[in-house]
């Protein structure tokens, strides 16, 4: 520690190992802030980023219609008043191009680029127990060492492609939504297929439906989609945000899930039906996740309470789609509202009223294979010019387990996490000293918890440097207790009853475990703060 050079070298191809105080993997929302924080503390930092630009999620997911499902003013960083005052959000739920511009603006404003190496995928990271430091290898052979390794690789960044037979035989164009080309794709006049109807597809489908000659949507499970109600930000609103950002961020840190919305403390079952419906109607016309996160608290914990709102949403869907057969295909009946991620939509259901859109039930007749001509299901073949795979991600565990990370005794991270994530506080894992996970896995507005975690990591590294300690990792007991505590919290919710990516159930063969931490934001913050305030008692310090 401290003996690393202050100014990182350019990538070298001559086999020499570069030295830094900290290496950050990933230049997305968490990675950029982690770089800023650590550099501010005087560390030499190198960020290795796989992509050709900064932005993480907002770099890769450039499919038509991609946007925040969080209110823009709450998703943006809260840590620089100057940034808050300089940046104008154009829409209440900002779109991908704008979000990418925002993160580039941040990279420029804080002069972050000089420490970021793009087009550099980390293939392995190995802990050197004698030197208490990590050595990472970049694809292509470049090597770098640092005392601290921070995985800021995101939670929804390892794309999932179902292993359909014949994928490569398709003669038309193929896209995965999370690896969308930079150039505009022209679907006009084309026969397009979209596999999947999760949050991504729900954003994309109305756009492709408008442009394509014909769109076939292959749906396995319908979702409860709620209206986003996006709109442009007026100059008055912009000014009002700027005047009260401190208040907005304070509120987000105090609510259960990091939004301005908060659950209603009443049970859905303790009010009259009239009162209940009045609240549902009121929530429905509001933008964003209000319908989910501003609802009666027990829609997330009690089946009967939940059913009152689930049925309300089903009826809203029924009102919007003309063809009765299509309606029943779109109405979810197999899971409670909110037990899967609620997609926010704009004109989604209306897309199915168009003559050029066909909905195909691939639960009833599953996709058998991809053919040179298109998609072959059990009962038909659909001829297509383009296939869009909106098939999601290997969530939380995927981005880290695809890197060959080896800790103490050569232990493989991938093996350790084979049964699900194992951490203390979601941040560190036993046997992998000085390795930190800077990604929010809390059930929370992403940036709100990510900032808290990045700051916790920076403070922890500051503590080690101040005390002249060389390494930190949680004790096995602390980790076991955290995993048990996380599972217990999860068991109080309806999340664990349903097959969803929250549970790892979207990937065949993946261990079933709640991948998100189901505590409230204030409680989670308190747990993190206490873990530091007590002198890192639950950690092994060397």
From the list 406, 458, 425, 415, the residue with the least C-alpha distance to 539 is 425
DSSP string, 307-336: HHHHHHHHHHHHHH---HHHHHHHS--SS-
CB of 454 to ligand NA7, least distance (A): 20
Nearer to ligand NA7, 288 or 392 (CB): 392
Binding of residue 344 to ligand NA7 (CB under 6 A): no
Binding of residue 208 to ligand NA7 (CB under 6 A): no
CB of 394 to ligand NA7, least distance (A): 10
Kindly write out the interface string for residues 475-514 of this chain, putting x where it contacts ligand NA7 by CB under 6 A and - elsewhere: --------------------------x----x--------
Question: Which residues are within 8 A (CB) of 142 and not within 5 positions of it... i.e. 6 or more apart?
Answer: 11, 12, 13, 18, 120
Place of tokens 């800023």: 36
Indicate the DSSP class of residue 434: T
What is the rounded distance in angstroms from the CA atom of residue 292 to the CA atom of residue 16?
A: 53
Binding of residue 220 to ligand NA7 (CB under 6 A): yes
Kindly write out the interface string for residues 347-386 of this chain, putting x where it contacts ligand NA7 by CB under 6 A and - elsewhere: ---------------x----x-------------------
Q: Which of 30, 72, 104, 391 binds ligand NA7 (CB under 6 A)?
A: 391
What is the CA angle 29-49-423, rounded to 5?
60
Q: Which of 11, 109, 126, 162 binds ligand NA7 (CB under 6 A)?
A: 162
Kindly write out the interface string for residues 233-262 of this chain, putting x where it contacts ligand NA7 by CB under 6 A and - elsewhere: ------------------------------
Binding of residue 96 to ligand NA7 (CB under 6 A): no
Nearer to ligand NA7, 199 or 503 (CB): 199
Residue 334: is it exposed, middle or buried by C-beta count within 10 angstroms (0-12/13-18/19+)?
exposed
What is the rounded distance in angstroms from the CA atom of residue 438 to the CA atom of residue 453?
A: 6
- Asked whether 123 and 138 are in contact (CB, 8 A), the reply is yes
Binding window for ligand NA7 (CB under 6 A); candidates: 190-198, 208-216, 272-280, 408-416: 190-198
- Asked whether 517 and 443 are in contact (CB, 8 A), the reply is yes
Binding of residue 159 to ligand NA7 (CB under 6 A): no
Cα-only R_g, the chain? 24
CB of 300 to ligand NA7, least distance (A): 16
Nearer to ligand NA7, 121 or 220 (CB): 220
Place of tokens 């409670």: 336
Binding window for ligand NA7 (CB under 6 A); candidates: 74-82, 137-145, 195-203, 428-436: 195-203
Kindly write out the interface string for residues 323-342 of this chain, putting x where it contacts ligand NA7 by CB under 6 A and - elsewhere: ------------------x-
Binding of residue 66 to ligand NA7 (CB under 6 A): no
Nearer to ligand NA7, 106 or 342 (CB): 342
What is the rounded distance in angstroms from the CA atom of residue 516 to the CA atom of residue 492?
A: 14
CB of 185 to ligand NA7, least distance (A): 17
Nearer to ligand NA7, 24 or 370 (CB): 370
Nearer to ligand NA7, 198 or 431 (CB): 198
Nearer to ligand NA7, 199 or 490 (CB): 199
What is the rounded distance in angstroms from the CA atom of residue 252 to the CA atom of residue 289?
A: 14
Q: Which residue is nearest to ligand NA7 (CB)?
A: 198
Q: Which of 156, 299, 454, 461 binds ligand NA7 (CB under 6 A)?
A: 156
Binding of residue 515 to ligand NA7 (CB under 6 A): no
Q: Which of 125, 199, 313, 384 binds ligand NA7 (CB under 6 A)?
A: 199
Using DSSP, how many helices (H) and how many strands (E) does the chain show?
A: 17, 20
Binding of residue 390 to ligand NA7 (CB under 6 A): yes
- Asked whether 337 and 495 are in contact (CB, 8 A), the reply is no
Q: Which of 201, 268, 279, 452 binds ligand NA7 (CB under 6 A)?
A: 201
What is the rounded distance in angstroms from the CA atom of residue 285 to the CA atom of residue 294?
A: 12
Binding of residue 198 to ligand NA7 (CB under 6 A): yes
Place of tokens 């299509």: 326
DSSP β-bridge partners for residue 216: 193, 358
Nearer to ligand NA7, 218 or 309 (CB): 218
Number of residues counted as binding ligand NA7 (CB under 6 A): 21
Binding of residue 196 to ligand NA7 (CB under 6 A): yes
Task: List own/partner pairs for 113-118 with CB under 8 A and 24 or more apart.
Answer: 113/54, 115/8, 115/35, 115/39, 115/45, 115/46, 115/47, 116/27, 116/35, 116/47, 116/49, 116/54, 117/11, 117/46, 117/47, 117/48, 117/49, 118/27, 118/49, 118/51, 118/52, 118/53, 118/54
What is the rounded distance in angstroms from the CA atom of residue 474 to the CA atom of residue 152?
A: 19
Per CB under 6 A, residues contacting ligand NA7 are: 156, 162, 195-201, 218, 220-221, 341, 362, 367, 390-393, 501, 506
């Amino acid at each position: 520690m401290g003996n690393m050079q202050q100014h990182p070298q350019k990538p070298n191809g001559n086999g020499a190992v570069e030295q830094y105080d900290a290496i950050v993997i990933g230049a997305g929302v968490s990675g950029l802030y982690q770089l800023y924080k650590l550099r501010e503390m005087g560390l030499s930092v190198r960020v290795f980023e796989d992509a050709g630009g900064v932005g993480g999620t907002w770099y890769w997911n450039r499919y038509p219609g991609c946007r925040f499902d969080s209110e823009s003013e709450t998703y943006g960083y809260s840590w620089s008043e100057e940034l808050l005052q300089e940046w104008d959000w154009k829409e209440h739920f900002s779109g991908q191009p704008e979000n990418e511009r925002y993160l580039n603006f941040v990279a420029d404003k804080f002069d972050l680029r000089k420490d970021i190496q793009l087009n550099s995928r980390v293939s392995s990271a190995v802990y050197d127990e004698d030197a208490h430091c990590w050595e990472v290898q970049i694809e292509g052979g470049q090597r770098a060492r640092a005392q601290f390794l921070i995985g800021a690789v995101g939670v929804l960044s390892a794309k999932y492609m179902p292993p359909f037979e014949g994928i490569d035989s398709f003669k038309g164009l193929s896209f995965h939504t999370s690896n969308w080309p930079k150039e505009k794709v022209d679907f006009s006049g084309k026969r397009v297929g979209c596999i999947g109807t999760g949050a991504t597809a729900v954003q994309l489908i109305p756009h492709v439906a408008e442009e394509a000659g014909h769109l076939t949507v292959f749906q396995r499970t319908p979702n409860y989609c709620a209206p986003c109600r996006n709109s442009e930000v007026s100059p008055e609103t912009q000014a009002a945000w700027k005047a009260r950002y401190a208040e907005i961020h304070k509120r987000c840190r105090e609510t259960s899930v990091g939004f301005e919305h908060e659950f209603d403390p009443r049970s859905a079952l303790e009010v009259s039906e009239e009162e209940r419906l009045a609240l549902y109607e009121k929530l429905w016309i509001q933008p964003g996740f209000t319908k989910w996160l501003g609802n009666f608290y027990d829609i997330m914990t009690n089946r009967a309470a939940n059913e009152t709102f689930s049925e309300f949403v089903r009826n809203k869907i029924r009102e919007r789609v003309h063809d009765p057969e299509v309606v029943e295909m779109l109405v979810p009946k197999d899971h409670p509202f909110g037990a899967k991620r609620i997609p926010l939509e704009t004109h989604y259901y209306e897309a199915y009223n168009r003559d050029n859109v066909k909905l195909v039930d691939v639960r009833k007749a599953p996709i058998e294979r991809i053919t040179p001509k298109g998609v072959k299901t059990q009962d038909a073949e659909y001829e297509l010019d383009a296939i869009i795979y909106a098939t999601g991600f290997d969530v939380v565990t995927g981005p880290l387990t695809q890197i060959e990370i080896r800790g103490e005794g050569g232990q493989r991270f991938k093996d350790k996490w084979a049964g699900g994530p194992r951490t203390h506080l979601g941040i560190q894992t036993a046997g992998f000293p000085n390795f930190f996970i800077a990604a929010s896995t809390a059930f929370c507005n992403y940036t709100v918890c990510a900032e808290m975690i990045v700051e916790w990591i920076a403070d922890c590294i500051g503590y080690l440097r101040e005390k002249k300690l060389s390494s930190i990792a949680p004790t096995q007991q602390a980790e076991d207790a955290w995993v048990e505590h996380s599972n217990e919290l999860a068991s109080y919710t309806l999340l664990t009853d349903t097959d969803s990516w929250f549970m790892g159930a979207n990937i065949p063969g993946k261990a079933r475990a709640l991948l998100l931490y189901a505590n409230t934001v204030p409680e989670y913050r308190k747990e993190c703060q206490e873990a530091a305030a007590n002198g890192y008692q639950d950690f092994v310090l060397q």
